Structure 1
Amino acid sequence: MVQTVIAAYLIGWALSAVVIYMASRHMGSKYEPVPHQFALSAGAGALWPLLILGAVEFSSVAAASSAASHVESVDGSSHHLLVSATVVPLR
């Protein structure tokens, strides 16, 4: 089990480091290259589980704010009224 978790982490690290490196090469300035670009990409790739947690947190905040925009407070009380009965899309 431990070997599987370590292998999954290392594969995720390698894939995310390559994606980050390619994205930084594509979006970076051709006239002012970043020093140690591969080392920085490898370091950022090591933190890929945090990227997943951040994406989950962002999606939950987006869902909550989208749902909150469809609910109104009635006369400033704690009772809430659903403004629209349609399906709330996640943007």
Structure 2
Amino acid sequence: MISDEERRRAVAELREASTGAYRHVDALDVIAGSVGVEVGGKFGHEVENETYAALADLIDRPTTHIDVNEHGRACCANCGCDDWCLADRSRYCPNCGAEVVG
């Protein structure tokens, strides 16, 4: 799962690329590198597939719901985080970043 820090880094690199900073580099390589896809030694279709998946992960934040753990505390159903803010109806899990939808 992609973290908010990784998301911000990717956005910063993509914005830098939008300024023309990488004029003499293949666009797919720039985008792949920006979203953390290693290009070296792979076929073009592999790079494309991994890049599309990484872009989807950047855009689509996972969802979760509040569960109750063995100690009776509210916790994230995805990662088990039982941070106090989950009990207070936080919108996102502070550990995995999933959006709380239930």
TM-score (norm 1): 0.30
Structure number with higher helix proportion:
1
TM-score (norm 2): 0.28
